[in-house]
Each structure stands twice: as C-alpha cells, then as structure tokens.
C-alpha cells in the first residue's frame, strides 16, 4: 500500500482536503477521499453522483476504468477513461477507448453532477 501526502485544495471559497492511497496489486486502484472544511469541522464529500453520471454516459458495451480517472478542481470536471466490455482481454489491455467528462459543483457540502459527455478516442 502506498499513502500519499495529504493536500489542501482551494475550490472557490472552500478548502478541501484530499487524502489518496493506492492498494497496490496489478491494477493499482487509487482511492481518494475529499473532505470539505468549514468552521463546523470537516465532512467527507460523496462523489458517487459523479461516478454514476460517468457510468451512465459510457456507450453500450463499454464501462469506465477508475485507475484512469482524475478530478480537475480548477475547472470542476471529472475525467474517466472507458474500456470495452471484453472478458477475453485483461483490464489493462482493453483500456482506453474513449473518455467521459462530468462537470460537477460542490454546494453545501454536497457534490452535484452535471450532464456527462462521452468522447471517443
């Protein structure tokens, strides 16, 4: 397992703390937790709406590939690569056929997903 140093990000007027770690293994899935900081304390942000929007935007026969994802907090856009659903090919070999971009906002400690768009590559 690899732990990365915590980061403090500024998103508009909000401070957000990012914690990131990698569980190792062949596919290196990165786990990131984001906490919004307010005078009342820190609260975990739930990015499930963003991931769900990305999954829905992937074309039929494709799925999103989390190890190839990133949050752009300056532009408030989530990027994730897509791969073909092919059981005869390893996950690393079938990525990356396209990408999905999901705009998002953070309001009142909640993450709100905008309309996701798919881009073939």
Residue 114: pLDDT band (50, 70, 90) is very high
The sign one gets for the Cα dihedral 33, 90, 86, 80 is positive
Flag whether pLDDT at 12 surpasses 90: no
- Measured over all CA atoms, what is the biggest interatomic distance in the chain, rounded to whole angstroms? 52
Alpha carbons 18 and 64: distance in angstroms, whole number: 22
> How many residues are recorded in the chain?
121
Residue 41 tokens read as: 């304390």
Instruction: Kindly report the average pLDDT of the chain as a whole number.
Output: 88
Specify the pLDDT at position 51.
Answer: 96
Note the pLDDT tens digit of each residue in 44-80.
999 999 999 999 999 999 999 888 899 999 999 999 9
pLDDT band at 29 (very low <50, low <70, confident <90, very high): confident
End-to-end Cα distance, the chain:
32
Give the pLDDT confidence of 69-78 residue by residue, as tens digits. 999 999 999 9
Write the burial class of residue 54 (CB in 10 Å: 0-12 exposed, 13-18 middle, 19+ buried). Answer: buried
């Amino acid at each position: 397992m690899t732990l990365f140093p915590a980061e403090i990000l500024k998103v508009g007027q909000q401070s957000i703390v990012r914690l990131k770690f990698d569980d190792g293994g062949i596919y290196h899935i990165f786990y990131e937790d984001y906490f919004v900081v307010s005078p009342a304390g820190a609260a975990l942000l739930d990015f499930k709406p963003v991931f769900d929007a990305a999954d829905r935007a992937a074309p039929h026969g494709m799925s999103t590939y989390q190890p190839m994802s990133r949050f752009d907090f300056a532009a408030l856009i989530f990027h994730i690569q897509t791969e073909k659903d092919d059981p005869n090919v390893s996950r690393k070999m079938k990525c990356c056929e396209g990408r999905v971009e999901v705009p998002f906002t953070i309001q009142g400690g909640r993450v709100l997903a905008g309309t996701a768009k798919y881009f073939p590559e």
